[in-house]
């Protein structure tokens, strides 16, 4: 089998055809799944970012953890092969790619493990690392009336893909990121060992893998906390002209106890003009509501701020009870009078809300355009400066997509996880979700992202990149700061030859 991999790599057999090699590897690995193809221009060469294209050697569709372990072990017996787990390829900067390496299509395992269980009276679901969150949602709600507690905004992402980063959305202020909502994992390490891990069993591996950028193991199963799913959601947007008022209210809401706040808190920045994508029209939840610019205070600047909140309720709740609870919460906020939009939708419709935008963007052809996104965590202490320079000046005309900003609480994140965070107790998720047509604007957008990051470093902001992407070890060291040593030690323990997730460009494959 190793000989076969060697042949495929060196390609020195003039008569052999790629298909022959692939099938002989497949046979000698004795996979239950398949080695699909060389995938020269296929799915494994691309990601959602559309900025990089890298050719793998082969795309493997495993049946389960045993297949994945065999592939990793086989790679470890060569001198140079790497292995990238590919979730749904929604990375921006080639993180799920493997240059001349083996890409594992985790989606082929998505149906594995769907098992409900209770532990000490609390409900959990075991799901495959390759499952899409949207499927986890619909299956849990329809079969058990239960749902995970913490989400991402968009759910066509895999469980293993988001757990390798953090997984944040408007529920994270209360429950922490998705990485704080799993209690057990099954992982294939870089040594090709299938290992169960949790807070009490192989805890270094467990916490290492959570937010670990795929560096320590491939998540093949996750045990996710569940809670009763509400039936309905009142989804509300209110507008602010002053950043200080917006952030004060957002921070107030995320600091309240459960039952005394909304169930979801996010926000976004938009241009103070009538641009259909970047301006006022991006606010109304229902296009029939419209946006009345006459309400905007004369003192408003180049950008405005939208606080987006949601309130859960059940079909059996009286409308007046919901109205009263929502009015009481809104009554404590200082948004611009008359600039409010609301919609009642089912819980699953709310969580699948980005799907509609996706369909729309696909129809317009912009879903497949490049996405030079920039995601950051910025400490509360520096967010006013960030707003003043980045939002009010650098991107005041918008980025062709949402510019998210909402606060998160550090105490909901476990310090033992690998993800790097700013120091402050409250920090903001900032996301510039650019949709850029192919052409010179792509490079300009990437350059502007660099400029923003450079400015943050120069000004000494307390910040970290989320979904980080760096080219040099020095940058990675700076990113992890005093966690770098721990990160390196975990790599030495669980993937000593640096086989896994080469697309993150943190470590180089060794012999």
Active site residues: 90, 153, 266
Of 26, 93, 162, 171, the one binding ligand FAD by CB under 6 A: 162
CB of 231 to ligand FAD, least distance (A): 23
CB of 165 to ligand FAD, least distance (A): 5
Which CB sits closer to ligand FAD, 24 or 91?
91
| Rounded Cα distance, 389 and 451, in Å | 11
Which CB sits closer to ligand FAD, 27 or 362?
362
Q: Is 504 in the site for ligand FAD (CB under 6 A)?
A: yes
Q: Is 160 in the site for ligand FAD (CB under 6 A)?
A: yes
- Compute the half-sphere exposure of residue 189: CA atoms within 13 Å on the CB side of its CA: 19
CA distances from 196 to 46, 117, 223 (A): 31, 17, 11
Q: Is 476 in the site for ligand FAD (CB under 6 A)?
A: no
Which CB sits closer to ligand FAD, 174 or 340?
174
CB of 240 to ligand FAD, least distance (A): 22
Tokens of 295: 């309400």
Of 78, 108, 112, 164, the one binding ligand FAD by CB under 6 A: 164
Of 70, 86, 174, 234, the one binding ligand FAD by CB under 6 A: 86
Of 33, 192, 214, 400, the one binding ligand FAD by CB under 6 A: 214
Cβ neighbours for 15, distance < 8 A, ≥ 6 positions apart: none
CB of 501 to ligand FAD, least distance (A): 4
Footprint (CB under 6 A) of ligand FAD, residues 100-119: 106
Of 219, 224, 226, 336, the one binding ligand FAD by CB under 6 A: 219
CB of 24 to ligand FAD, least distance (A): 26
Q: Is 370 in the site for ligand FAD (CB under 6 A)?
A: no
Phi-psi region of 373 (alpha: psi -120 to 50; beta: other; left: phi over 0): beta
Tokens of 132: 């899409």
Which CB sits closer to ligand FAD, 157 or 239?
157
Q: Is 420 in the site for ligand FAD (CB under 6 A)?
A: no
β strands within 284-381, DSSP E: 303-313, 340-346, 374-379
CB of 2 to ligand FAD, least distance (A): 23
Q: Is 417 in the site for ligand FAD (CB under 6 A)?
A: no
Tokens of 248: 């004060």
Footprint (CB under 6 A) of ligand FAD, residues 435-474: 467
Q: Is 24 in the site for ligand FAD (CB under 6 A)?
A: no
Of 78, 82, 108, 165, the one binding ligand FAD by CB under 6 A: 165
| Rounded Cα distance, 313 and 138, in Å | 18
Q: Are 308 and 266 in contact (CB under 8 A)?
A: yes
Cβ neighbours for 201, distance < 8 A, ≥ 6 positions apart: 184
Helices (H), 11-132: 18-29, 65-76
Q: At which residue do the structure tokens 């259909």 appear?
A: 276
Q: Is 207 in the site for ligand FAD (CB under 6 A)?
A: no
Residue 271's closest CA among 239, 318, 235?
239
Element (H, E) at 226: strand 217-228
# of chain residues touching ligand FAD (CB under 6 A)? 36
Footprint (CB under 6 A) of ligand FAD, residues 305-364: none
Three-class DSSP category at 127: strand
Three-class DSSP category at 307: strand
Q: Are 502 and 82 in contact (CB under 8 A)?
A: yes
């Amino acid at each position: 089998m190793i000989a076969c991999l060697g042949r495929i790599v060196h390609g020195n057999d003039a008569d052999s055809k790629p298909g022959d090699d692939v099938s002989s590897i497949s046979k000698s690995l004795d996979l239950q799944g398949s080695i699909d193809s060389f995938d020269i221009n296929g799915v494994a060469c691309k990601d959602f970012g559309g900025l990089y294209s890298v050719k793998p050697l082969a795309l493997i569709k495993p049946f389960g953890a045993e297949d994945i372990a065999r592939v990793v072990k086989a790679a470890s017996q060569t001198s140079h092969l790497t292995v990238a787990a590919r979730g749904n390829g929604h990375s921006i900067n080639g993180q799920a790619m493997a240059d001349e390496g083996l890409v594992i299509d985790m989606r082929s395992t998505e149906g594995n493990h769907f098992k409900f269980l209770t532990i000490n009276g609390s409900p959990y679901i075991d799901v495959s690392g390759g499952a899409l969150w949207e499927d986890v949602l619909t299956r849990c709600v329809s079969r058990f009336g239960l749902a995970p507690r913490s989400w991402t905004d968009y759910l066509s992402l895999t469980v293993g893909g988001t757990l390798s980063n953090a997984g944040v959305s408007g529920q994270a202020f209360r429950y922490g990121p998705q990485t704080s909502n799993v209690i057990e994992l099954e992982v294939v390490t870089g040594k090709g060992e299938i290992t169960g891990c949790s807070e009490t069993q192989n805890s270094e591996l467990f916490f290492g893998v959570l937010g670990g950028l795929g560096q320590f193991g491939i998540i093949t199963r996750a045990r996710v906390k569940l809670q009763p799913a509400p039936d309905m959601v009142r989804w509300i947007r209110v507008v602010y002209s002053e950043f200080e008022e917006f952030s004060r209210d957002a921070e107030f809401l995320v600091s309240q106890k459960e039952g005394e706040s909304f169930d979801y808190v996010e926000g976004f920045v938009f241009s103070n003009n009538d641009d259909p994508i970047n301006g006022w029209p991006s606010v109304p939840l229902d296009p029939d509501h419209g946006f009345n610019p006459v309400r905007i205070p004369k003192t408003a600047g180049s950008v405005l701020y939208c606080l987006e909140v949601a309130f859960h309720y059940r079909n059996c709740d009286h409308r007046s009870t919901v109205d009263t609870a929502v009015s009481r919460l809104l009554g404590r906020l200082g948004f611009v009078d008359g600039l409010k939009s609301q919609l009642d939708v089912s819980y699953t419709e709310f969580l699948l809300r980005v799907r509609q935008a996706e369909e729309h963007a696909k129809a317009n052809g912009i879903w497949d355009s490049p996405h030079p996104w920039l995601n950051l965590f910025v400490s509360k202490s520096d967010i006013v400066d960030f707003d003043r320079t980045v939002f009010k000046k650098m991107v005041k005309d918008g980025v062709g997509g949402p510019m998210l900003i909402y606060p998160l609480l550090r105490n909901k994140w476990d310090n033992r996880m690998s993800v790097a965070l700013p120091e402050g107790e409250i920090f903001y998720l900032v996301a510039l979700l650019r949709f850029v047509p192919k052409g010179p604007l792509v490079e300009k957008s990437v350059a502007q992202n660099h400029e923003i990051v450079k400015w943050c470093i120069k000004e000494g902001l307390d910040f970290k990149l989320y979904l980080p992407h760096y080219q040099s070890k020095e940058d990675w060291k700076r990113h992890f700061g005093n966690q770098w040593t721990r990160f390196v030690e975990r790599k030495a323990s669980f993937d000593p030859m640096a086989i896994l997730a080469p697309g993150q460009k943190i470590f180089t494959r060794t012999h």
